[in-house]
Chain A
Amino acid sequence: MIKKFGMRPLIGLLFFVLILLVVGVLMQVKFSSLFQNYVEKQVAFQAENYASAIGERFVVELKALAGISAYLSADPQHLEKMLSTLKDGNDEYNYGVVALNGNHIYSDGDQDVRASEFKGISESFHGSRYISYYKGKGLMFSVPVYSGKNVRYVLYRLYKEEKAVKNFGVVCYSGKGYAAIRDSRDSIIVRSANDSLGTDLLWGENGYEAIREKLKNGLNISIATAAKWDVDGSEYYYFVADLKLPGVSLTGLVPAEVVASEKDGISFLILWVFGLLIFMFVIAMIYVLYSERKARENKELLREKESAESASRAKSLFLANMSHEIRTPINGILGMDSMLLKECKDENLRDYALNIQNAGHTLLSLINDILDISKIESGKMEILPVKYSVFSVLSDCYNIVSTRARDKHLDLVMDISPDIPSSLFGDEVRIKQVINNLLSNAVKYTNEGSVMLSVRAEKNNLSPMSEKFANEVVLCIQVKDTGIGIRERDRGKLFQNFVRLDEKRNRNIEGTGLGLNLTRQLLDMMGGTIYVDSVYGQGSTFTVRLLQQVSDETPIGDFAKLYKQHQKTVGEAHECFEAPDACVLVADDMQMNLKVFAGLLKETKIQIDMAVNGAEALRYIQKKHYDVIFLDHMMPVMDGIEAFRKMKKLEENPNPITPVVMLTANAVVDAKNLYMDEGFSDYITKPMREEVLLATLKKFLPKNLIHVVKKKTDDELASVDPTPVAAAPVAEKSGAQPSLSDFLDTATGLAYCMNDEKFYREMQEEYVKGDKTKELAEFFEKEDFENYRIVVHALKSSSLTIGATKVSEAAKALEMACKESNLGFVRQNHAAFVEKYTALLAALKNS
C-alpha cells in the first residue's frame, strides 16, 4: 500500500484513526460517568420511594397510637381496661403508659422502659408524637395522653428489636440491597431486613464514612441522593433518603452489579460500534485513495486518447489539404494538355498528350478518392440530397466508362429498366461516384467479355402502410462483369481501406484500393447497401440497393433512344463559335490557370483581360465594360466573393449588369447555392473543361457577338453508340495493320517497344519466326504439361510484347491452369488457343 499511495495518506489515515480512537475512548469515559449519574439518580429515586413508604407506615403507626391516646385522654379511668384489650396476641409489641415521674401507669409486658433511654417519652411530654429507639430494647412509638391541654401521661407502643426489623425493616432491591433507618445522629433505629451488607467494612471509614459528606450535601438539594463508591474493589451505590418525619432518614447501599448490570453490555456495544465505525472508515479511506488513483489513471488514458484522436484528425486534415494542393497543379497540367491536344497536329505528339490526359485524370480521381476518404474520416463528409435526373446521372457514367471499355475491347451493356422514375431526390454527386467506381472497377478487372450495368427501381415495400414511404423507391444498381472474380476468402477484405486483393496477380492494375471502401462508406452514409457475388475466374456481380425519394414519377423510358437524342443536343451545344468583339475578364491567382483559360478560348478570338487577384480585377472592372467576368474563389489579397461584393458597391461601374461567373475547385454541392445566393450568375468547377467553358460563354455573351463556325472535327462525338456497345474498332493509329487489329493492340505493343515502330516490326517478325505450334501440339498430345506450361509462358510474354493481348491472356490462362493442374481447362481451351495463335501468325505473315 505504501508503494501505491505513498507515505502521506497513510500517515493521515493513521492520524485520523488515532483521533477517532481518542474520541471513542473519551466517549466511553463520558458514557460511563453518564451511566453512573443515571444509575445514581435511579437509586436515589428508588430510595426516596422506600423512604416515603416507610415514612407513611410510621405516620400511620403514630396516628393509630394517637387515636388510642385520644380515647385514654377522654376517659382516663378505664385506661387499664382499654389497653388490655389491645394487647398484641403475636407478642410483637407492648403497650405502656408512663407518668411524668417515670413510673408506669400501665404496662402489658415486662419491659423496662426509662425516659432517659427513650427520648420519645420526654418528647411526648412536650406534646409530640415521637419515634425512638434504644439498642437492645426496641423501637418505641410514643404519643402524649392529655388531661385538658396539658400532657398527663405518655402512651407508647414498643416493638422488640427483631420484631421492629420484621415490621419496619426495609427490603430493598428484592433483598439484594441494604437499607437501615437512622435518626438525626446517624444511629440506626431500624436495621435492614437484609443485614448481610451491614458490615463494618462497608459502613466504616472506607465505606459510608468516606462519602457521608457528599451524600449530606446531596440532601441539601434533594430529598434523596445516591453516590457510587468503591469499597475494597467492589462497587456500591450508597443512598440516603430523608423520611417525611423530622430527623429520620433511610440509609443504605446496593451492589453495583444489581443496579448497573447492563453497563458492561452497553460499554461493549459502544466499543463495538466504534470499532465498526473505525473499520468502515478505514475501508472507505482506502477506497477513496484507490479510486482517486484510478481517476488519475483514467484521466491520463483520456488525455492519451485525445492526443491520438487529434493526431488522427491532423492526419486527415493534412491529407485533405495535400489533396487540394495537389489538385491545383494537376488542373494546370490537364488544362495545358487539353490545349496541346487541341492544337497539336502531329499524331505522335497528340498520342503523348492523350496519355498525359489519361494519367492526369487517373491521378485526379485518386486524389479525389483520398480527399473523400479523409473527409469521411474527419466527419466532414455530408450527404446533400438534391433533385436529380436519373438519365443525366446514367449517361454521365456511361460517357466516362465507355471510352475505357472500348479501349479494352469490352462490351459495356446498359440494361436500364424503362419504368424508373425520371427524377429522384438524393445526392447526385455521390450516386454518380458510386456507379463510376463500380463500373471502372469492373472494367479494370475484366480482360475480355462484358461489363453490364443494370438499374431497376423497386417499389419500396418495407412499410407499405406508412405515408412516409409511399413516395420512395429502392434503386437497385447491379454491375456485372466477366472479369477475374474474387476469391471467397477475400470477400471480407473487399471493402477495407488500402487493401488490394490478389496482389501478385493484379499488380499491373492501377489503383489505390480506396475505391470500394469509399463506395461502401458513401452508401453507408446514404443508407444504402452493397453486396458482392462472385465466381473466381468467371466474374463478379456488385449489387447496390439504395432508397431514394421520387421527385417525378414519369418513367424514364428507353435509355438508348434517349441517349442518342441527348448526344445530338450536346453536339449542337458544342458548335464552335467566334466572338472577336466580345471582351471578358478573368481573375485567378495561378498564372497557369490563366494561360489555360486563354488557350481554351484562343479559337473564339475573344478579347481576354487577366487579373491575378480580386483587387486587380476590381481595377479592370472600374475601367472597362466586359461581357462576362470570371472570378476565382480563392485568391490572395482579395478573394472572388469579396471582389464581387465590392464590385456591386462601386459608384462608377461600367459593369452593373455584367454576368459574373465563379471559378472554383470547391466541388461541393452546397457551394453552388452559396454562389447563387451571393448573386453570381453561374459557376464553373476546375479543372475547366472546354465544352463547359464554351457553353457558359455562349449562354452569357450577347447573341449578336457570336458567329457560329463549322465544326472541324466531330470524331469524338460520332463514335458514341450506347446500345450494347460492341467495342468499336479502335481508332486507327499510324503503323498499325488494319488486318491485324483483331489480334493486336498496337498501342500496347508500341509501348513495349519504346514507341519505335521499326523496332516493333522487327519484334513482330521475330514473333513469327518463333512459331511454337508444333511444340504445343507435341506436348499436348504427350500430356507433358510441365513443358507445355513453359511454352505457353513464353508465348504469354512474347505475345504481350507485340501487343497481342488476347493471345497473351489466353496463354496466361493456360499457364495458370497448368500450374494448378487444371488439366480439364487446358484440354478444353487448347484447340481455341491454337486457333487464335495460328490466326495471329497468319495475319502477321501476311502483313
Chain B
Amino acid sequence: MKSKITIIALLAVVAFFVLLYLSFSKVGNEEVKKIAEAQKLRIGFVLLSDTADNGWNETHYRGIRSACDSLGVQMSLITEIPEERVPLEKSVNDMIADSLKIIVLTSYSYPIIIKDIIESHPDVMFYGINWEFDAPNYKAYFARIYQARYLAGILAGAMTKTNHVGYVAAMKNIQVYRGLNAFILGVQSVNPKARVYVRWTNSWNEGEVETENANKLIDSSGIDVIAFHQDRAYIIEVAEKRGVYCIGNHVENNRFSSKMLSSIALNWGIIYKDFIQDYIQKKDNENMDYWLGLEKDAVGLAFYSSEVPDSVKTLVNDAIERIKAGYNMFSGRIVDSNGKVRSEEGETISDEVLRSDMEWLVKGAVEP
C-alpha cells in the first residue's frame, strides 16, 4: 500500500516534468506557427476568363501558381469575370466576405470599375495592372510587356517581305498603345521602310471580330506578318489558314506551324512573388515598384520558329542585351502619327508617361 503511494507520487513528479517539457515545446514552436500563419494566407485572384485560354489568363494562372507555391501561400481564384460592374462587384465582395485580405485584379480595367469598393475597404490590399488609379490600399504591378513587343517588332520588321505588317489591337487604352508603339518602334528599328497596319477590335476576347479584322488586314492591306494584342489565339488560327507569318501573344509552346514566328512571353510568377513577398514582409509600398521587364526575365519572346534565320535572331538578341543594359526604346526624337514631337533628341520618355500618358501612336502606323 505504502509503496504504491510512493510509486504514484513518483509518477506524478515525472508526469509534472514531462508536462513542463511539453509546454516548453509548445513555446518553441512559435517560428513554425509563423510559417503556418503565412501558409494560411490566402490571396484572391480575379481573372477575366478561364485558366486555360491559351493566352493571357493561362499565363497569369501559371504565374499565380508558381508564386504561391514558392511562397507557400494559398490562392483563391475566381475566373470568367468580364470587365463589368455587376459580376466583378459580386466576386470581390464575396472575397472580402471570405475574409481575404489581399485581392489581385488581373484585368486592366477592373480597379477603375470597382474604385469605390477598393476605397471603402482600407484593410484589404488590392493589386491591379493599372496605373491610372491610385489609393492607399491599391498598388499597381505589371510587366514591361512593351519591351517584348519591341522585340516582336524587330522580328516582324526583319521577316516582312512586303514591308506591310499587320497588328490587331484590342482596346484603345494606354497599355495597348504602349505595346503597339514599342512594336512599331521595333519594326522601324530594323526596317525603316516598313509600315504597320493597325485595326482595333475594342474587345479582349471576341473571336469573330478578331478574325474579321485579321482577314481584313490580310485582304486589304497586303500584310505578310501579323501581330496582335488580344487575350486569345483566334488570330493565329486565321494566320495559319491564310498562310501569313504570325507573332503570338502569350503562347509559350508552339503548337502551330512554322509560320508562327514567335510569341510574346510573360513570367507573371516573378512579379507576383515580388509583391506578395513584400506584402508578407509588410514592406512599406511607397518606395516599391512592381514593373518588371527584360532585366529580370519577366518578359521576352517564347521561342523562334524554324523559319526565323539566325541573322534575325542576332538582331533580336542584340536588342535584348541593349535593353538589359538600360536602353530605353522610347528615347531620342519620337514623333506621333499626328506629327507631334513626343520626345526630343537626347530625351527619354519617362516611365510615368508610359504608364499613364501614352494615348497616341508613333509615326509610321497606318489605321485603315
Q: Which residues of A contact B (CB under 8 A)?
A: 8-9, 12, 16, 19-20, 23, 26-27, 30-31, 33-34, 37, 55, 59, 99-101, 115-116, 119, 121-123, 125-128, 144, 146-147, 149-152, 219-223, 242, 244-246, 281, 288-289, 292, 295
Distance, CA A221 to CA B17, complexed state (A): 34
Among A126, A220, A246, max chain B CB count under 10 A is at: A126
Q: Pick the contact of A151: B35, B70, B350 (CB < 8 A).
A: B350
Sampled A-B contacts (27; CB under 8 Å): A9-B3, A9-B6, A12-B10, A19-B14, A23-B20, A27-B24, A30-B21, A30-B28, A37-B30, A99-B346, A100-B346, A122-B325, A122-B327, A123-B326, A125-B326, A125-B328, A126-B350, A127-B348, A127-B350, A144-B350, A150-B343, A150-B353, A220-B280, A221-B34, A221-B38, A222-B281, A244-B284
- Taking a contact as CB atoms under 8 Å apart, the answer to whether B283 and A242 are in contact is yes
B348 touches A221 (CB 8 A): no
Q: B residues 62-97 with Cβ under 8 Å of A?
A: 70-72
Whether, in the assembled complex, B173 has its beta carbon less than 8 Å from a beta carbon of chain A, the answer is no
Known: A23-B18, A100-B331, A127-B351. A220 touches B72 (CB 8 A): yes
Minimum distance in angstroms from A113 CB to a CB of chain B: 13
Contact B24 A16 (CB under 8 A): no
A125 touches B348 (CB 8 A): yes
Within the complex, what minimum Cβ distance (angstroms) separates A224 from chain B?
8
In the complex, what residues of A have CB within 8 A of residue B325's CB?
A: 115-116, 122
How far apart are A66's CB and chain B's nearest CB, in angstroms?
12
Q: Are B2's CB and A292's CB within 8 A?
A: yes
A105's nearest neighbour on chain B, judged by CB, is: B346
**Chain B 268-302: CB-based contact to A (< 8 A → 1; otherwise 0):** 00000000010011111011110000000000000
A16-B10 contact given A125-B326, A246-B288, CB 8 Å threshold: yes
CA distance A219 to B71 in the complex (A): 10
Contacting residues, chain B, for A59 (C-beta < 8 A) = 287
Q: How far is the CA of A23 from the CA of B21 in the complex (A)?
A: 8
Bound complex: CA of A59 vs CA of B351, how far in Å?
A: 19
**Could you say which residues of chain A place their CB within 8 Å of the CB of B8?**
none
Which interface residue of A55, A127, A221 has the most chain B CB atoms within 10 A? A221
Cα distance, A586 to B287, chains bound together (Å): 132
Contact at A125–B331, with CB atoms within 8 Å? yes
Which residues of chain A are near B346, meaning CB under 8 Å?
Answer: 99-101, 152
Does more than half of chain A's interface fall in helix, strand or loop, or is it mixed?
Answer: helix
Indicate if the CB atoms of A147 and B72 lie closer than 8 Å: no
CA distance A23 to B6 in the complex (A): 20
Given A26, A34, A220, which contacts B277 in the complex, CB threshold below 8 Å?
A220
**Is the CB of B135 closer than 8 A to any CB of chain A?**
no
CB neighbours (8 Å) of A245 from chain B are: 287
Complex: A31 Cα to B23 Cα, angstroms: 12
Q: Is the CB of A27 within 8 A of B351?
A: no
B219 at the interface (CB under 8 A from A): no
A150 contacts which chain B residues (CB < 8 A)? Answer: 342-344, 347-350, 353
Q: Which residues from chain B contact A31 at a C-beta distance below 8 Å? A: 24
Complex alpha-carbon distance, A295 and B327, angstroms: 97
Q: Which of B1-39 contact A (CB under 8 A)?
A: 2-3, 6-7, 9-10, 13-14, 17-18, 20-21, 24-25, 27-28, 30-31, 34-35, 38
B6 lies within 8 A of A288 (CB):
yes
Partner of B351, one of A12, A126, A223: A126
Query: When chains A and B are docked, how far (Å) is the Cα of A332 from the Cα of B19?
Result: 85
Among B13, B280, B287, the residue within 8 A (CB) of A16 is B13
Say if the beta carbon of B352 comes within 8 Å of chain A.
yes
Complex: chain B residue closest to A123, CB-CB: B326
Contact partners of B289 in chain A: CB under 8 A? 128, 246
Q: Is B17 within 8 A of A20, CB to CB?
A: yes
B252 sits at the interface (CB 8 A):
no
Contact partners of B34 in chain A: CB under 8 A: 221-222
Residue of A nearest to B334 (CB): A150
List 3 tightest A-B contacts by C-beta distance, closest first: A122-B326, A127-B350, A223-B281
A29 to chain B, nearest CB (A): 10
Chain B's nearest CB lies how many Å from the CB of A17?
Answer: 10
A242 to B281, alpha carbons, bound, how many Å? 9
The 8 Å CB contact of B28, one of A37, A55, A149, is A37
Residue B359, interface by CB 8 Å: no
- On chain A, the residues within 8 Å of B240 by CB distance are none
Residue of A nearest to B16 (CB): A23
Give A30 to B29 CA distance when docked, in angstroms. Answer: 11
Contact across chains for A127 and B287 when beta carbons are under 8 A apart = no
Asked if A126 and B328 make an inter-chain contact with CB atoms under 8 angstroms apart, the answer reads: yes
- Contact across chains for B349 and A30 when beta carbons are under 8 A apart: no
Contact B71 A220 (CB under 8 A): yes
Residues of chain B lying within 8 A (CB to CB) of residue A20: 13-14, 17
Q: Which single member of B24, B326, B343, B351 contacts A119 (CB below 8 Å)?
A: B326
- Residue interface bits B324-365, CB-to-A below 8 A is 1, else 0: 011110011000000000111011111111000100000000
Q: Are A27 and B283 in contact (CB under 8 A)?
A: no
Residues of the A chain whose Cβ atoms lie less than 8 Å from the Cβ of B17: 19-20, 23, 27
Minimum Cβ distance to chain B for residue A804 (Å): 79
Chain B residues, CB < 8 A from A99: 346
A223 near B282: Cβ-Cβ < 8 Å: yes
Query: In angstroms, how far is the closest chain B Cβ from the Cβ of A79?
Result: 14
Within 8 Å CB of B342, what residues of A? 150
Residues on B with C-beta less than 8 A from A223 are: 281-283
- Chain A residues with CB under 8 Å of B283's CB are 223, 242, 244
Question: Nearest chain-A residue to B71 (Cβ)?
Answer: A220
Contact B347 A151 (CB under 8 A): yes
Contact B347 A100 (CB under 8 A): yes
List, in ascending order, chain B residues with CB within 8 A of A149's CB. Answer: 349-350, 352-353, 357
Q: Within the assembled complex, what's the spacing in Å between the Cα atoms of A8 and B2?
A: 14
> Is B281 within 8 A of A16, CB to CB?
no
For B282, the closest partner residue in chain A by CB is: A223
Taking CB atoms, residues of chain A closer than 8 Å to B286 are 244
CA distance A20 to B13 in the complex (A): 9
* In the complex, chain A residues whose CB is within 8 Å of the CB of B357: 149
A12 to B10, CA, bound (A): 9
- B348 partner, pick from A33, A126, A288, beta carbons under 8 A: A126
**Closest Cβ neighbor of B326 among chain A residues:** A122
Q: Which residues of B contact A33 (CB under 8 A)?
A: 28
Measured between beta carbons, the chain A residues less than 8 angstroms from B9 are 288
Asked if B14 and A16 make an inter-chain contact with CB atoms under 8 angstroms apart, the answer reads yes
New A-B contacts (17) at CB < 8 Å, excluding given A149-B349, A221-B38: A16-B10, A27-B17, A27-B20, A30-B21, A31-B24, A33-B28, A122-B326, A126-B350, A144-B350, A150-B342, A150-B353, A220-B70, A220-B280, A223-B281, A223-B283, A244-B287, A246-B289
**Neighbour of B14 across the interface among A8, A23, A222, CB < 8 A:** A23
**What separation, in Å, do the CA atoms of A606 and B24 have in the docked complex?**
106
A16 to chain B: closest residue by CB: B10
Decide yes or no: A30 and B24 within 8 Å by CB, A12-B7, A125-B348, A127-B350 being known contacts: yes
CA distance A147 to B343 in the complex (A): 9
Q: In the complex, A226→B117 CA distance in Å?
A: 39
Q: Which A residue's beta carbon lies closest to that of B284? A: A244
A356 to B348 alpha-carbon distance, docked (Å): 159
CA A55 to CA B353, docked complex, whole Å: 27
- A121 — which chain B residues lie within 8 A by C-beta? 326
**CA–CA, A331 to B280, complex, Å?**
116
A152 close to B280 (CB less than 8 A): no
Shortest CB–CB separation between residue A156 and chain B, in angstroms? 14
Residues of A within 8 A of B348 (CB): 100, 125-127, 150-151
B82 to chain A, nearest CB (A): 33
Closest Cβ neighbor of A120 among chain B residues: B326
Kindly list chain B residues whose C-beta atoms are within 8 Å of the C-beta of A144.
350
Q: Which residues of A contact B287 (CB under 8 A)?
A: 55, 59, 244-246
Roughly how many angstroms separate A245 CA and B282 CA in the complex, as a whole number? 13
State the Cβ distance, A116 to closest chain B Cβ, in Å.
6
Interface residues of B in 123-176 (CB under 8 A from A): none
CB distance from B185 to the nearest CB of A (A): 15
B350 touches A146 (CB 8 A): yes
Distance from A151 Cβ to chain B, minimum over Cβ atoms (Å): 4
Q: How far is the CB of A811 from chain B (nearest CB, A)?
A: 76
